[in-house]
Structure 1
Amino acid sequence: MSSGPSSSSTNGLHPHQESSKHLNHAYHMNGFADPTPHNQKIIDYLYNYGFQRGEYADTVLHVHQNIYRLHAIILSRSPFLVQLLSTSPQGQVGVLRTIYVPVEREPEVTQEGFAIALGYLYSSFSLRLIQPENARAVLAAGCMLGGMDELCEYAYSICKSSISVDTIGPWLEFVDAIPPPSSGAETPGPELSSIRIFGPYVQKLRDDVFHFLVVTLPNILELHATSETTPTTPGNGREILLQVFSRVPFDMFKAAIESPNFQIGSDQARFKFAKEAIEARKHGIARGLEETVVLAFGGGNFGTSAVHVTRKMRKRPLWKVNS
C-alpha cells in the first residue's frame, strides 16, 4: 500500500497543506483572526499560573531564601539558567529537577530584583514592577541571567533617571566600588564581583553620575557661570554642591573639577570651590591622604583646565628620640 507524503508534526498536530494556504490567504486578504488578543491570553496564563502559582512545574529553583516551582522550557530563555539546567542531575521520573542559583557573591542581586527578572522570562508584565528603588537590582539580575536586553535597557533607564540630589550618596558609593581600568592582565578577584556583573552598564552608569555632578547638579542648584570670582547662587545651593563633592571618589572629583563642562563661574571661582571641597574631604573620604589644588595663570601646563587637582599619601610625622 502506498503512503502519502509525510508531514511534520508539532505536539501531535498535522497541519493540512491546503488548509494552511486557506488560513493564510484569509488572514492576509480579510484581516482574519488577529492573533494578538489570543497570544496575550497565553502570556497572561503563563505568568499567573506558571510563574506566580507554579502549576505543572518540572523544575525547583533555589535562590536566596526563596524556592520557585518553574518550568525548564521557560527557564531555557536565560543562558545562565540553561547552563545550570544542563549541569544539574535529571533525577528520577516524576521527580522535579532542582537547581541552585549562586548569588552569595553578588550583593547587587537582591531577592526583589531577581524575582522581577525571573518573572520577565514568563511575561513582560515584570517591566511594570521596576521602580527607582529596585531598578539597579533588577539590572544586576537581568545582566546575570542574560537574554533579556529589553528588561536591562528599561531598568538602566530607570537607574539613570533616578540620579538626583537625594540619591547621589548611594550612587557615589556605587561609583567608588568601580575598579580603575586595567590592562586586562589581572585576574578579577572576588572584590570585583558586585560590579562586573553589570557588564557594559558599569561605564554607562559611571558616566551618568559624572554628568549629573558636572552639568545637571549645578543647573539644578542654579549656580550660574559668570565672569565674577564667585558664581551667582540662590539660597544654599553652593553649600549643597560642596556637601556632595566632599563625598565624590577622588578620580571623579579630579575629573569633575578640571572638566570644562563644570561651569560654576570663573577659573578663580572653581579654584576657590575646589579648595573648600578639599578642606571638607579631609574629615571623610580623603582621610589619611593629601589632596591639593593649584590654579595656573596664563594658560599653565595643565591642558584645557587652569585648575589642577592632585593627591598623595600624607607623610607620617617623624619622632625624634633623644638619647
Structure 2
Amino acid sequence: MSLWFLTLNLVGARFSAFSKTCRPVYQNQFEGIVNHIYQSGFQTGNYADTHLHVYHSVYRLHAIILSRSPYLVHLMSTSPQTGGVRTIYVQVEQEPEITQEGFAIALGYLYSPISLNNIRPDNARAVLAAGCLLGGMEELCQYAYETCRQSLSVENIVHWIEFIGSLPPPSDGSTTPEPRPTTIFGVYGDRLREDVFHFLVVALPEVLDARGTSTSPPQSQTQQPQGPSGREVLLQIFSRVPFEIFKAAVESPTFQIGSDRARYGFAKEAVELRKHGVARGQGAEETVVLAFGGGNTNGSAVHVARKMRKRPLWKVNA
C-alpha cells in the first residue's frame, strides 16, 4: 500500500512540474490566437458572416463572436440571413452618450481585451455607455467606469455636473416607490452621480485649499497679481451647478468649508453670482438662511431655498 501511495505522489509531482513548464507555452498560444482573432477578424473582417451597420459605418464581423453580447444576439435572431451573410442595424441615435469611437472600442472588446488599451479619460464615458448597451462585458464597463471616476478634476467637474444633472433623480424613499426612468448606464449612472457629488463637496474644497478660508489674502503693493484663489474658483463652480445639486452640496454635512457662518457667507456669495448666470431668467429667487439653535436634522445650520417670484398685478381702468 505504501508503494502505491509513493508511486501516486511521484506521478503527481511529475505532472505538476510538467504543467508549470507548459504553462508559458499555453499562455503564448492563447495570446497568439486572441491577437489573430482581433487583427484578422475584427480589424480586417476576414471570413465575416455578419454585416453590422451603425452610424455611417459597416463592420464585417462574425456571429459566433457577436453572440457574446445579449443585445447583438437579439438583433441577429430577429434579422433575416440572405446569401450566407446576415445584416443587422444598431440604432444608437437615441443614445447621445454613445459615440462612434466608444462603440468601436466596445465592439472590439468582444474579440479581444486588447481593446481596453484604447480607453482614455476623454472617451471612457462613451465606452461605458456602449458597453452597457451591448452587455456581456462587465470587465470593460468596470474599467471604463474607473477611468471616468479617476479623471474627475477641477477642469472638468462642471462638465460632469451637467452630465449627472441629465440623469433621472434618485428616489428619496419618502413617497410610494415608482418605476424610475432607466438610462443606458444602469447602476453605473448612480455610481457616477455619487462620485461626482463627493468630488464636488469633499475633494474639491480640499484640492483648492478652500476649507476655512473666508476671504482672499491682501496683496502687497510690490506683489505681482496672481490668479483667482481656491475659494474664488470654488465659488465660480458652485455658481454654475443646477439648483438641486447646489442646495444638496451647501447643506451637506460633508461640505467642510469652515464654520456655519463661513458656509453661510460662501453660499450668499454663490447665490449672488448665480443671479447673473444659471439662475438668471428662471423666474425664481434663491435665498440662504442661517439657522440658530438646535434642530438641524441634516447636520447643517445653512439652508438654501428657492421660491417663484410673484408676477406683478396690473390694474386696468375701464
Give the TM-score taking structure 1 as reference length. 0.84
Cα distance in 2 between the residues matched to 1:132 and 1:308? 35
The answer (yes or no) to whether the contact 1:26–1:32 under 8 Å persists in 2 is: no
Which residue number in structure 2 is paired with residue 197 of structure 1? 184
Match of 2:50 among 38, 51, 59: 59
1:239 CA drift (Å)? 1.1
The 5 A counterparts of 1:84-99 are 84-92=75-83, 95-99=84-88
The one-letter amino acid paired with 1:222 is: D
Match of 2:262 among 261, 269, 274: 269
1:232 CA drift (Å)? 7.4
Cα distance in 1 between the residues matched to 2:179 and 2:275? 32
Q: Does residue 127 of structure 1 match 2:122?
A: no
Which residue number in structure 2 is paired with residue 28 of structure 1? 16
Match of 1:44 among 15, 35, 42: 35
The answer (yes or no) to whether the contact 1:231–1:264 under 8 Å persists in 2 is: no
75-84 vs 297-306, which moves further: 297-306
In structure 2, do the counterparts of structure 1 residues 199 and 186 end up closer, same or farther at CA, with 3 Å as the change threshold?
closer
The 5 A counterparts of 1:138-177 are 138-177=127-166
Which residue number in structure 2 is paired with residue 137 of structure 1? 126
The answer (yes or no) to whether the contact 1:225–1:231 under 8 Å persists in 2 is: no
1:222 CA drift (Å)? 0.6
1:25 CA drift (Å)? 9.4
Which residue number in structure 2 is paired with residue 306 of structure 1? 301
CA distances 1:22-41 after superposition (whole Å, capped 9, x unpaired): xx997534234321100000
Q: Does residue 321 of structure 1 match 2:316?
A: yes
Match of 1:214 among 193, 201, 216: 201
Which residue number in structure 2 is paired with residue 292 of structure 1? 287
Cα distance in 1 between the residues matched to 2:15 and 2:77? 40
In structure 2, do the counterparts of structure 1 residues 42 and 201 end up closer, same or farther at CA, with 3 Å as the change threshold?
same
The one-letter amino acid paired with 1:178 is: L
1:315 CA drift (Å)? 2.1
CA distances 1:260-292 after superposition (whole Å, capped 9, x unpaired): 111111101100111111111122322322211
What 5-or-longer segments of structure 1 have no aligned partner?
A: 1-23
The answer (yes or no) to whether the contact 1:136–1:155 under 8 Å persists in 2 is: yes
CA distances 1:205-244 after superposition (whole Å, capped 9, x unpaired): 1111111111111011111337xxx267795111111110
The answer (yes or no) to whether the contact 1:75–1:82 under 8 Å persists in 2 is: yes
CA distances 1:85-127 after superposition (whole Å, capped 9, x unpaired): 11111223xx311000110100101000000000000011111
Cα distance in 2 between the residues matched to 1:187 and 1:160? 24
Cα distance in 2 between the residues matched to 1:25 and 1:142? 44
**Equivalent pairs, count:** 289
Query: Secondary structure of the residue that 2:245 maps to in structure 1?
Result: helix
The answer (yes or no) to whether the contact 2:253–2:298 under 8 Å persists in 1 is: no
1:169 CA drift (Å)? 2.0
Structure 1 ranges of 4+ moved more than 3 A = 24-29, 181-188, 231-235, 300-303
CA RMSD of aligned residues (A): 2.1
Cα distance in 1 between the residues matched to 2:142 and 2:15? 34
The one-letter amino acid paired with 2:265 is: K
Cα distance in 2 between the residues matched to 1:268 and 1:25? 73
1:186 CA drift (Å)? 5.4
The answer (yes or no) to whether the contact 2:271–2:287 under 8 Å persists in 1 is: yes
